[in-house]
Amino acid sequence: MHLASRHERRPAATGRGWAVALTCAAALVTSAAALPQAQAATRPATSAAAHRPGTDRAALAEALEAIHTAGMYGTYAAVRDGDTAWRGAAGVADRDTGRPVTPDMEQRIGSISKSMTAVALLQQVAAGRLDLDAPVSRYLPGLVPGQRGDRITVRMLLNHTSGIGDYVLYAFPSLQTLSTSSLDENRFRHVDPRELVRMGVQAPPTGAPGEKWSYSNTNYIIAGLLLGKLTGEDPERYITRNVIRRAGLRHTYFPRGPRITGPHPKLYESFYGLIDPPRDYSVYDMSWAGTAGAVVSTMADLDRFYRQLLTGRLLPAAELAEMKTTVPMTDAQDNVIGHYGLGLIRFDWGCGTFWGHSGAVFGAETWALSSPDGRRQMALAYNLSKYDKLAADGTVTPGPIDDAVNTFVAKALCAPTTGSPALRSARVDLAPAHASEWRSLPAARR
């Protein structure tokens, strides 16, 4: 059933413009004026931190509050520098009641799950059970039909150079006609991972195997099936025991039902203005994301995960080096916008290099980044997704929320000391990674 008109609107963008928006979605932007309920419920940022000279707790709290002031409903973050931990929150978890967000709320972390899936497969490489450069057909014969299965390697799955299309527009087909009705129709639908793979391999290829980088969730659903084949157990259970628990994560899990089990905010989805006002999708069957993006976590747990990973506690040195071997990430015009490893993104900014990933699912967006030595981490989440305003041609112009997010990340990662000149010289642009969440989707059709 088509959504009621009060929940769905079509911006002035042309059909071609919306195709661009769906295939090449760039920085997440909106204006403060577009979110009056969030503005009306403004609350001071709350924070907690161990005292350590050089950690500017007030600056972090102020920068987090600025994200909410710019128009985000609620945002929460955790920053760690060695033994010093800071946590903060600003804004509302529920725009109707004004219930505040808190620093330890659980979040659907989307594609940050890919880092965990990649770690689990690299553990199989370390154990001698998996060859990164072997074809997928060696382990999963027939899953990717024809010669493609013989040409696509495990490495190509993990670094998104397989050329396999993304299944998302086929799992939610109404999006192809610029309707969001599929999001509601499939809220409680359980999807088998092999069905998702079938959708992806039947989608138009994004290139020849190994030709170029093109983000596709299908790659990591196949990775999960491969993990299950190698270990003989449910891949989510394997990741839970050998990655999540091994890293000491206490509030991280694959959900076994549609509900987040711990304290969490409502998760509001705008989908580039198609859903107006944004609607809550915090209750959702996440089998559609599986080993590509279903994990729930907290910001403190994400800090710990990347710290454990980059300090060698989850993988041997050789496999960690493989994980950090990158290919160029490119946009629709083939401009290099970043560097993708095996479930890791490398960010090169004026203040240094950082490793991590971004995640975006319906209603939730998350960033998690770490210094290469694993000393300093930052994880940031918010509860309004795809809030962009689009021009008539479907392009996105960064707005106040993006500026505020970039400022917070710069203060969290580039300026650990008050007045650090690194902050003034740093160029922190998070747009490329979130562009990867949607740029590989097939073009929408009128």
Residues annotated as part of the active site: 111
Distance in angstroms (rounded) separating the CA atoms of residues 379 and 219: 25
Handedness of CA 15, 17, 18, 24 (dihedral sign): positive
Which is nearest to 121 in space by CA: 246, 249, 216, 224? 224
Crossing angle (nearest 10°) for helices 217-231 and 193-202: 130
Please calculate the CA angle 101-112-209 and round it to the nearest 5 degrees. 155
Q: What are phi and psi of 360, to 5 degrees?
A: -145, 120
Distance in angstroms (rounded) separating the CA atoms of residues 276 and 37: 13
Coil, helix or strand at residue 362: coil
Distance in angstroms (rounded) separating the CA atoms of residues 197 and 63: 41
Crossing angle (nearest 10°) for helices 113-126 and 217-231: 40
The order of strands in the sheet holding 46-49 is 46-49, 84-91, 74-81, 376-382, 364-370, 352-361, 345-349, 336-340, 327-330
Query: CA distances (Å), 336 to each of 24, 26, 357, in order?
Result: 14, 14, 17
Which is nearest to 401 in space by CA: 92, 75, 158, 104? 75
Handedness of CA 200, 205, 206, 208 (dihedral sign): positive
Measured in whole angstroms, the distance separating CA 174 from the mean position of its chain's CA atoms is 22
Handedness of CA 202, 207, 208, 210 (dihedral sign): negative
Per DSSP, 395 falls in state -
Which long-range contacts does 65-68 make (Cβ < 8 Å, 24+ apart)?
A: 65/90, 66/404, 66/407, 66/408, 67/91, 67/382, 67/401, 67/404, 67/405, 67/408, 68/38, 68/42, 68/43
Q: What are phi and psi of 280, to 5 degrees?
A: -75, 125
Distance in angstroms (rounded) separating the CA atoms of residues 274 and 390: 11
Distance in angstroms (rounded) separating the CA atoms of residues 122 and 301: 21
Which residues make Cβ contacts (< 8 Å) with residue 438, sequence separation at least 6?
22, 23, 24, 25, 360
